[in-house]
Chains A and B, each alone.
Chain A
Amino acid sequence: MPKITYIDASGKERVVEAKNGMTVMETAIKHNVPGIDADCGGACACATCHVYVDPAFMDKVGKPSAMEQSMLDFAENVKETSRLSCQIKVREDLDGLRVTTPESQH
């Protein structure tokens, strides 16, 4: 099972075992990782599951859909590595993925 490291805004790391097919957001919720609210539950409707993806994984993670991109374009504190974690599905080749959560989702 791929491992994902969640890093909160203060730099604290949490490593969890993820299940293929679940999203990076769902994996965080399942393991009670703080910093991801996901108010809409993964519908790409609210932009409260915003994370920064480790630049080394940007290519592997892939490009956001047009809908996700336009949600991101208007989210707070967006960087080039920003993604909505409800739109990233866990796969074997994402083993070792590191994502950082922003200070606030609202």
Chain B
Amino acid sequence: MSGAPQRIVIIGAGQAGGQTAYSLRLAGYEGAITLIGDEPAPPYQRPPLSKAYFKGEMEAERLFLKPLEYYAEHNIDLLTGRAAKAIDLAAKQVALEGAAPVAWDKLLIATGARPRKLTLHGADLKGVTELRTLADVDRLKVLAAPGARMVVVGAGYIGLEAAAVGAQLGLKVTVLEAMPQVLSRVAGPEIGAFYTHIHRAIGTDIRLGARLEHFEGEGQVTGVRLAGGEVIPADLVLVGVGVLPNLELALEAGLACGNGIVVDGDMCTSHPEVFAAGDVAWRPLVHYGREGRLESVHNAIEGGKIAAAAMLGQPAPVLEVPWFWSDQFDLKLQTAGLWTGADQTVVRGDPQTRAFAVFYLKEGRVLAVDAVNSAPEFIVGRKLVASQARVAPGELADKSLSMRDIGARALG
């Protein structure tokens, strides 16, 4: 490969950073790869952290994306527990904490995101925690003894998944959500109402429109005080109120950033030799004709594959419709697409059966689908989103028509 890079450095050893390294080796790249992560573990899957790992059904090693030997065998210099301090675009170097700088011909920034912190009084009390890393959940598991009172602040995917596990572990769980529905950022009211019902039915106290005043306690948190004065007793508080992209290194280096590092379809930043992928990237969303930042496994894997191909001058992989999933109790929610901007929703099936789907349409085309225990709706829905084909809403709602038939008709 003439003109191929000799030294590739990846900042961030999460799913996107790891995927980029794997894809580079799979594509035959033989130059140096340095993979820098500030956590002690090698690249690992985060989704099980709020699910099977929190529940104690999965040991840490099973989360690792590749066994440790992989990195040595594939000549990937994995630097864990080490933070990158600065990017020097002119000298093409990354400064490291406590080690000599590393030089690059191509650089990937996959620094991810960090949980947004509440600025309320008492937010730094012991027992107030977040859920992003293995270390976070290891702390959480110690606190989550049966009978303990857990307050979850924020009813997003992570908050609700942790609330579900908490209830299954025998904790007394309260969920505080500022918005009038759960999952309000990621799903429509039908899905929100369904999950509120599911959690309440097993005894979890879900408070919608909740306003927090502060956390109570001396050293250790003992409760959450709401506007109006009510105090909800707590032995542990899990704060899951969204994330902020880790932009600092890119900003300080002078790369174009908005609510993420701005990249083009090749995941290339405003500097031609610097790429970004994963939660931190502000990327084109080709199926929607706009740009955005996605926080998902699919986005991390796809971004890593695209960046690796672009660095080597190889053709880009086919882009998939963004997809997500969430496991709570016996319910698997699979989402394809992004629902923002929908002008119509169609419910297919009866939520009471615990298997149904919600299609989000705009001008007769499917933008997204939320499928609860409904794989056909998810898979065919994904194809409908990708094709941007017109679908009759009445057909989507008609359970006497199979998804296969609906898909075949719409996709031709």
Contact = CB atoms under 8 A, between A and B. Distances in A.
Interface of A: 22, 26, 29-30, 32, 34, 39-41, 43-47, 67, 70-71, 73-75, 106
Contacts, number: 55
B318 A106 contact: yes
Interface residues of B, number: 31
A30 B376 contact: no
12 contacts: A40-B47, A40-B297, A40-B325, A43-B47, A43-B48, A46-B325, A67-B373, A70-B375, A71-B375, A74-B379, A74-B380, A106-B318
Given A30-B67, A46-B323, A106-B318, A41 B47 contact: yes
B334 interface: yes
Contacts of A44: 332
Contacts of B375: 67, 70-71, 73-74
Contacts of A41: 45, 47-48, 63, 297
A22 B375 CA distance: 24
Interface string B49-63: 001000000000011
Q: Which of A26, A40, A44 has the most CB of B within 10 A?
A: A40
Interface in B21-51: 26, 45, 47-48, 51
A45 B325 contact: yes
Contact of A39 (B297, B373, B403): B297
Nearest to A23: B62
A68 to B, nearest CB: 9
* 6 interchain residue pairs of minimum CB distance: A74-B379, A70-B375, A45-B325, A41-B45, A71-B375, A30-B67
A48 B251 CA distance: 36
B70 interface: yes
Contacts of B404: 74
A22 B48 CA distance: 15
Given A41-B45, A67-B375, 11 more contacts: A22-B62, A29-B67, A32-B73, A34-B26, A44-B332, A45-B325, A46-B323, A70-B376, A71-B379, A74-B376, A74-B380
A76 B317 CA distance: 17
Contacts of B66: 29, 32
Contacts of A40: 47, 297, 325
A56 B70 CA distance: 32
Contacts of B327: 43
B376 A73 contact: yes
A67 B323 contact: no
A20 B148 CA distance: 34
Nearest to B373: A67
B83 interface: no
A101 to B, nearest CB: 14
Nearest to B324: A45
Q: Which of A46, A71, A73, A75 has the most CB of B within 10 A?
A: A46
